Amino acid sequence: MNTIQVALGRRSYSIRVGNGLLGETGALLNELELAKSIIVISSKAILSLHGERLLRSLRRAGLDAQLVLVPEGEKHKTLATVEGIYRSLARRRASRKTLVIAFGGGVIGDMAGFAAASYLRGLPYVQVPTTLLAQIDSAIGGKTGVNLPSGKNLVGAFYQPRAVIVDPLLLSTLAPRELRSGLYEAVKYGVIRSAELLDLVERKHAHFPQRDKRALEQMIVECVRIKAEIVSQDERESELRMVLNYGHTLGHALEAATRYQRFTHGEAIGHGMIMANQLATEFNRLDPLDAARIDAAIRAVGTLPQPRGLRSSQVIRHMLSDKKFVDDRFRFVLPRRVGQVDIVTDVPVLAVQRLLRSYLHAES
Ligand SMILES: NC(=O)c1ccc[n+]([C@@H]2O[C@H](COP(=O)([O-])OP(=O)(O)OC[C@H]3O[C@@H](n4cnc5c(N)ncnc54)[C@H](O)[C@@H]3O)[C@@H](O)[C@H]2O)c1
Ligand SMILES: [Zn+2]
């Protein structure tokens, strides 16, 4: 088992990563002295795949758990679903001594975390993420929240979990496209911090998760280390944490411009990273050979769905309302080399328009 610390003073916590760890959840909660009465927030689909092992482990450790089920999918990441969670917590007489376990992908993690942040002004919670994206990204760092009709993640709170328990074996049931979605984020971590990690993703991803469980675990540990270190230094995204947005300035806009229907988050970020590399080479910040190396790693993960039919004006429109647009300039995270990126705050609108036009044309 690997233990990675998120160092945030009194709100510090550890992330445990290990194959088979789900079966140790109860024991771990006892060890961390977190075990009290427990409410597991999850979905039917996830519970039918992995619920029994979680519940058995809690029972074996002498812990009593109740379940709260939420509907599956991004469209249910709403205040209405969170209100449903509040009502269920009330019916089950949750108190500040109740421990919430968020058991699911990023959607459930964000919602359960937000419910835990706000019910009775805060219940302790633990993340047990079940998708690759959640294991290496969303379950770490304490960003919780829900969507509004006018935009994603507009309501939420920074609220840190008490622990994160990551079992990579849970990914064996994940749809291949969901796995790839997470792999693009792993590529992102490689580019921003670690050439070795980029190498590992590139060499091994085709063997995940069935044929090389050790390599998958190792990759997850490296990603978690990077995210934990960045969050420890900048919990509230004042500056450093922005490096995690590599590929996201254009990626988010692609997702929004296609109404979140065409690309998974990771795929949109894949396109976003390739476009960021093009900007970086155009500005002479990145050697074209390095750009080609990163692009190859991104494309090796899988074929990205084409942005066919998308116009640059549609994408730009979404970028203008983004918080990455300040004083008529876009803020981009641009690589300098593999393992190092810069936050560039003065990218002109015209340069982005030009880039989008040529990219959307070439990729369609
Ligand atoms: N809080 C953060 O810092 C942060 C960071 C990145 C993304 N997010 C959020 O995360 C969400 C996306 O998360 P996601 O990609 O995990 O999607 P998701 O939670 O919707 O899960 C994707 C699908 O996988 C299924 N699934 C989950 N675990 C499974 C398993 N082990 N086996 C088989 N199927 C399984 C789910 O039922 C779902 O259908 C978005 O809402 C995004 O805003 C949050
Ligand atoms: Zn992302």
Say what the pLDDT of residue 238 is. Answer: 84
Distance 105 CA to ligand 1 centre (A): 3
Q: Where are the domains of the chain?
A: 2-174, 235-363
CA dihedral 224, 54, 184, 14 (to 10 degrees): -10
Say what the pLDDT of residue 313 is. Answer: 93
Distance 233 CA to ligand 2 centre (A): 19
What is the CB < 6 Å shell around ligand 1?
Answer: 43, 45-46, 49, 72, 74, 77, 104-108, 110, 130-131, 133-134, 137-138, 141, 143, 152-153, 170, 173-174, 178, 181, 265
Residue with CA nearest ligand 1 atom 21: 105
Whole-model pTM over 0.85: yes
Say what the pLDDT of residue 197 is. Answer: 97
Whole-angstrom distance, CA of residue 139 vs CA of residue 126: 9
Residue with CA nearest ligand 1 atom 7: 138
Say what the pLDDT of residue 208 is. Answer: 83
CATH top class, domain 2-174: alpha beta
DSSP structure class, residue 284? T
Instruction: Point out the catalytic residue in the list 248, 318, 324, 331.
Output: 248
Fill in the amino acid letter for 21. L
Nearest Cα to 167, choosing from 82, 79, 53?
Answer: 53
Q: What is the mean pLDDT of each run of 10 residues along the chain (364 residues)?
A: 96 97 97 91 98 97 96 96 98 96 98 98 98 98 95 95 98 96 98 97 86 94 98 90 95 94 96 98 97 96 93 92 79 97 94 95 85
Positive/negative CA dihedral, 148, 129, 250, 356 = negative
Considering the four listed CATH numbers 3.90.25.10, 3.40.50.150, 1.20.1090.10, 3.40.190.10, the one that applies to the domain covering 235-363 is 1.20.1090.10
